[in-house]
Structure 1
Amino acid sequence: MNYLKYTQYVYLIFGAFFIYDGFTKLNDPTGTPWLSFMVAGLAIFMFFFRRKFAKKAEERNKKS
């Protein structure tokens, strides 16, 4: 269960990738950059959500 501490950082990697993808699609007239930016925003939100949930679980385990 120790790997769950590190899986939250995968969301940051996906967020960075989709931000990069969005900026590259801004110059392409047929691209849809806003979808990439929305997915990046969701990935960054999930990072903070998972981090908060992991801290709560860790505090709960320390009390037991």
Structure 2
Amino acid sequence: MKRIEDAARPLLLCLFRLALCLLCTGIQVSAAPRLVFGLQAAYGLENGIPRNTSHIKMLYAQPQVGI
């Protein structure tokens, strides 16, 4: 059975490449001049805490709308 980090790694790499391409090429992703859409994605891993058997792993993506 694959670990969650191994399964999420290709998705995170794809999202990072997409964000890098959008930033480098200067493509404006918007519906109107004052309405801008965005996406924030993050991955967090916390382990190796002494005297604690729990491990925290989270992957989330949230849309953003700016005016």
TM bracket, shorter-chain basis: 0.3 to 0.5
Larger radius of gyration between Structure 1 and Structure 2: 2
1 or 2 for the larger relative contact order (CA 8 Å, sep ≥6)?
A: 1
Give the alignment's TM-score, normalised by structure 1: 0.44
TM-score, normalised with respect to structure 2: 0.43
Between Structure 1 and Structure 2, which shows a larger proportion of strand residues? 2
Relative to total residues, which structure has the larger helix share, 1 or 2?
Answer: 1
